Structure 1
Amino acid sequence: MTAAPGLSLRAALAQLAGTDPAAALERPEPIAAEAVARDFADRYAGVPAVGIARSEPAVRYTRVGEEGATVLLGLYGDQSRLAAWLPGLPERTTPQTAARLLAAARAPRLRTAAPCRQLVARHEEVDLTRLPVLTATPRDAGPYLTAALVHAEDPVTGESALSAHRMLVLDRRRLTIWLVPGRQLGLLHLRALERGERLAVTVNIGVPPAAMLASALNSRFLPPGLGKLALAGALAGQPLGLAPALTQPAHALAEAEIVLEGHLDDSTAAEALDEREPGCSLPEFLGYDGRARTGLPVLTVTAVTTRRNPLYQAVIGPGREQSHILGVAGAFSVALSLPATPGLRVADLYFSPAGGGMLLLAVAVRKEHCAADGLLAPLAREVFRQHPFVKTVVFTDDDVAIRCAEDLLWAMTTRCNLAADAACFEGFPPVPMDPAQTPEWAGARHHPTVPGRVAIDATTPYALRASTARSFLRTGVPVHHGTAKG
C-alpha cells in the first residue's frame, strides 16, 4: 500500500511529480558530491542563497560520486507543497489554529517490518564515506549531513528529542554534531552523561515531510508529555511509524531512506579534518559562511540501515526549502507562545525567506478597540523575549497578505512612517550568524553597542481605519492569507 505523502518522502516526491512534473526534475549525468550544491545553487536556488526570488524544484541527482548514489535537493522549495502533503496544516497560523493542531496530535506507532532497514551494515561494516554526503563549497570544513533528523529518548523521563543538526563526517564511523545550547537534544545528552551513560540516537535521512516540519518546532512550547512525533501525526492526519534500532536502545523513523544508529558519549572534536585549524563550517541559513567550532560532541555510528536504492536528502544551507521549514514551524512556535491579548486578534503569522525563515516575522492583526493601538509594542517585546532569533517584527492589518512580499512592503510604505513607527527594543543578545549584529558592524556604523530588535507598526490607527479601505477589496471577503507560491 502506498503511504500518504505526509508519511513518506517517496510518496511526497511521487505526488509532486504527478501534479507538477516541471517541479520534479532528474539529473542523470555523473557529478561529484563536491559539485552538487554549487550546481543546484546556480541553476535552481532562490533567496537567500542567490539574489532571485523563485521556487526551487525538487531535483534528483542520480549519479553522484563513485557509488553513483542519488541525492535529492529542493523538496521543500515551494511552501505550497507542504499544504498539499499535510492535511493537518492550517491555511493561517494563529494561536487558535495552533491549539487545534495540538489537540489533533497522534502518537507514533511501532512497526516491526520497516522499509528503513531493507539493507543493513553493522559495526565494522559501517562506512560513512560511502554515503554521498555533500561538501557545499571549497571553503567548507568537509562533508556535512544537512537534512538529517536526530531522534533520542530519555530512558528515565520518557522525554524525546527530534531535531536537525549539522554533522561533519570525520571518518568511517564518526561525526561531529553541533548542539544549540539549551535545546532538547543537548539536555538529554547532558542528563545521560550525568548518569554515566551514553545517549543512544538514530540519525534519520530522507524523512517524512510531517516529521521534517515537526522537528523544527520549539519543544519549549509543547505541553508536557506531547512530543514532536505526535505533532507530526497531527500534520499528516495519521500516526507516523517507528522501528526499533538494531544496535542501540533507540527508535528510527520507519519510512526514512537512510538511518544511522549510534550514540553520544563524552567524546569531542573540532569541526575540522586532517588536523587543520577550524575555519569555515558550511553555508548557513542566512546565506553566509558559518564558523567552525571546537569541542563538539562526537556521534559514533554502530549501524547504517537503508531502503533499497535510497534517496540521500540534503539542503544547501541557505535557500528556499530551509527557509520554508524553519519559517512554517517557527510561526507555529510563536503562535503557541503568544499571551492572550484582549482587543487584539492575531490573524496570521509568517516568517519571510528573506530572513532565512527565522529573523523577519510578519504579523497580521485585527484591532477591536482604540486601546489596541498600544498593544503592539508589548506583544513584540514578548516575541523577542521568547524567540531569540527574531530580529524584526512587522505588524500589519488583516487586510494585508503578509505572505506576499509586495503586499507587505505596500503596507510598510503606505501605512507606516519608519522614522516614527519603528520601535527599537534593547537588551537582547545578538544572533551571531547575522553579520549586521556583530560588534564590528556596530563600530563601522558608529553605534556604541550592537543595535537591538525592531518592531515596525504598519497598521492603521484604530480611529482612522475607514481611511485605509482598499479600493478593490470586497467588503466582508477576507484577504487571502494562504500559502504563497515560492
Structure 2
Amino acid sequence: MPIEDTGGLIEALEEAGELRRVTGQVDPDLEIAEILRRVMYSKGPAILFEDVKGHSMPVLGNAFGSEKRMQIALETEDFTEIGQRIVDMTRMEVPHGMLGKLRKLPELSKMGGAFPHVEKGGPVTEVTGEIPSLDALPVLKTWPGDAGRFITLGLVATRHPDTGVRNLGVYRMQVVGKNQLIMHWQKHKRGAHHSEIARESGGRIEAAVIIGAEPATVFSAVAPVPEGLDKYLYAGIVRKEGIRTVQCRTIDLDVPANSEIVLEGYVDPAEMLEEGPFGDHTGYYTPPEEYPVFTITGMMRRKKPVYLTTIVGKPVLEDAYIGRVIERSFLPLIRMLQPEVVDFAMPPSGWFQGMAIASIKKQYPGQAKKVMMGLWGTGQLSLTKMVIIVDHDVNVHDIHDVIWAMTTRADAARDITIIRDAPTDTLDPASPIVNLGSKMGIDATQKTPEEGYSRVIQEQVQSDPDTAQMVDSRWESYGI
C-alpha cells in the first residue's frame, strides 16, 4: 500500500530512523528556517517541530531531504521505473479482436487504476466553514531579507480553461493579508498559462493551494510532466494507485482528499502586487517584481493538520533530492525522444535549471549538437542554461569525469555553441534581461575525421589486465 498522507510519511520516516522531533518551542520567524538549513547542509534527518510559537500546528521540514527518504516516500528504490511506466503507456498497442482485448486486460486495468476518483468526503473535509485566515498557519519567514512570510511547498491546483486538464505546480506565495497571497507563478509555468487563457476570456482563474498530501502528489506537483498529462493521473502513475479527491466548497475544483490543508480561491490577473525579495534556490535574493494576487474564499483542513514546508537557498538543500528523482524518472522519457542518450544528469549545485549533462552513444558527426538542440526543445529543459554532451564511457554523475572529458575532448573554438536571445529561467541571476538570455552547449565527445579532427586519436591509458587480476587476488596481503 502506498503512503496515504503526511501522517503516514511521518510514521514511515520515524520507523526508518529518518526523523527527529523537536519538542522545545521554536519561532516560525527565521528560527525554524535556520535550524532546517543547518540540518539540510549537514545531511541530517527530517524534522517535526511540535511546538511552534503562536500556533497549534506542528511543522514538518526536510521530509524529502535525502535519497533514502525519497525512496521511502515514493516506495521505490529505482526512480527510473516511474518514467518507464509512462513510456510503456505511450507505447501500448490498441488491441484488435476479442482475443487481443482479453490479452490486454491486465495492462489496461493497471492504467485505469491510476486514474483519480472523486469521493464525498475525506480527512481534509474534517473542518470546513471556518472564516479563512492565514494567521492560523505557521507560515515561515526564511531569510532576513525576505519581504515577509512565504508558503514554499504549497501545491497550486488549477484546471486548463479549455481542455479541463488539471495541473499542480509549486509556486512560492507571499502572505500580504489574512486572506491574500501573491502568486509567484512565472510565465513559463502552466499555472500562469491557465491564468492567461482565462484572462483572454475576460475572467479570473480558480485555484486551490494544497499543503501536505500523499508524497506522490507532492512529487507530481514539482515534476515537469509532458504537456497535456493530468497531474492527478500522474500522481496515480507514481504511486501505482489512483488518488482520492474531494470537491472544494467555494470553487469548482477537486483536491486530494488526504490533504492536510486546502486554501480555496482565485487569481485575478488584473490585481497585481509587488512580490519579493525572496531568498531563492539560486543562493540569491530574487528582486521584487509584480505578480497576481490569490484571494482566499474558503478553507478546508484536518482537525489536527501538519504544516509541510521546505527551505531553499544556495545548493545543496532539500530540493536537490526531489530534483534527483525528477532527473532519474524522466530519463526513460528523454531516451524515448533522444534514443542515443545513455544517461542524463542535472547537478544540484547548478540548481538543476542551470546545467544538464547527457552521455550518448555517438554514431555520426554532429550528433552531440543534435542532442543539445533536442534537449533544449523538450519541455522545461528549454530553460536550461548549459548543456554538456559526453561519450557513453563518461560517468555523467561524476563531475570529475565530466571535466576530464571537457578538457581532453573539447576544443573551445570548435565545440562550444552559443545561442543568444533564448528563454531563460526567471530566477537566473546572470541573464541580462529577466526571462531572456543566452545558452551554451559544449560538445565534449571524441571528434572524428568527418568533424574535422585530422589527428590520430590518442590511446587512453589502461592497466595491464593480467597485472590488475594478480593485484586483485593479492590485495589483502598488501595490508593496505
Same structural fold, with TM-score higher than 0.5 when normalized by the shorter chain: yes
Partners of 1:439 and 1:164 in 2: CA distance: 24
Choose which of 6, 9, 34 in structure 2 pairs with 1:9. 6
Matches within 5 A, 1:54-133: 55-87=43-75, 90-92=78-80, 99-100=87-88, 106-122=114-130, 125-133=131-139
1:144 aligns with 2:150: yes
Q: Using a 3 Å threshold, how does the CA distance of structure 1 residues 250 and 412 change in structure 2: closer, same or farther? A: same
Q: Is the 8 A contact 1:95 1:346 kept in 2?
A: no
Specify every segment of 5 or more residues in structure 2 that has no aligned partner in the other structure, as ranges: 93-109, 449-455, 469-480
Following superposition, the deviation at residue 88 of structure 1 comes to 6.8
State the secondary structure of the residue aligned to 1:64: coil
Partners of 1:69 and 1:163 in 2: CA distance: 24
How many residues in Structure 1 have an aligned counterpart in Structure 2? 434
The one-letter amino acid paired with 2:319 is Q
Choose which of 414, 429, 436 in structure 2 pairs with 1:435. 429
Choose which of 301, 309, 314 in structure 1 pairs with 2:304. 309
1:181 aligns with 2:187: yes
Percent identical among aligned pairs is 22
Q: Is the 8 A contact 2:116 2:233 kept in 1?
A: yes
Q: Is the 8 A contact 1:151 1:204 kept in 2?
A: yes
Partners of 2:82 and 2:458 in 1: CA distance: 22
Partners of 2:46 and 2:13 in 1: CA distance: 9
Partners of 2:271 and 2:179 in 1: CA distance: 14
Q: Using a 3 Å threshold, how does the CA distance of structure 1 residues 461 and 203 change in structure 2: closer, same or farther? A: same
Matches within 5 A, 1:299-338: 299-318=294-313, 319-329=316-326, 336=333
The one-letter amino acid paired with 2:52 is V
Instruction: Give a deviation string over 1:214-241, Cα, whole Å, max 9, x none.
Output: 223335x34x4x3121111111111112
Aligned equivalent of 1:293: 289
1:391 aligns with 2:385: yes
Aligned equivalent of 1:202: 208
Partners of 2:464 and 2:430 in 1: CA distance: 38
Instruction: Give a deviation string over 1:14-58, Cα, whole Å, max 9, x none.
Output: 222222x1x312222211111235423552133xxxxxxx53521
State the secondary structure of the residue aligned to 1:55: coil
Q: Is the 8 A contact 1:87 1:235 kept in 2?
A: no
TM value normalised by structure 1: 0.78
Instruction: Give a deviation string over 1:108-148, Cα, whole Å, max 9, x none.
Output: 121223112222343xx211112100111221111111101
State the secondary structure of the residue aligned to 1:44: helix
State the secondary structure of the residue aligned to 1:83: helix
Partners of 2:447 and 2:83 in 1: CA distance: 23
Aligned equivalent of 2:220: 214
Q: Using a 3 Å threshold, how does the CA distance of structure 1 residues 115 and 195 change in structure 2: closer, same or farther? A: same
Q: Using a 3 Å threshold, how does the CA distance of structure 1 residues 469 and 268 change in structure 2: closer, same or farther? A: farther
Q: Using a 3 Å threshold, how does the CA distance of structure 1 residues 345 and 35 change in structure 2: closer, same or farther? A: same
The one-letter amino acid paired with 1:437 is S
State the secondary structure of the residue aligned to 1:63: coil
Aligned equivalent of 1:165: 171
Q: Is the 8 A contact 2:354 2:384 kept in 1?
A: yes
TM value normalised by structure 2: 0.79
Q: Using a 3 Å threshold, how does the CA distance of structure 1 residues 390 and 335 change in structure 2: closer, same or farther? A: farther
Partners of 1:130 and 1:471 in 2: CA distance: 69
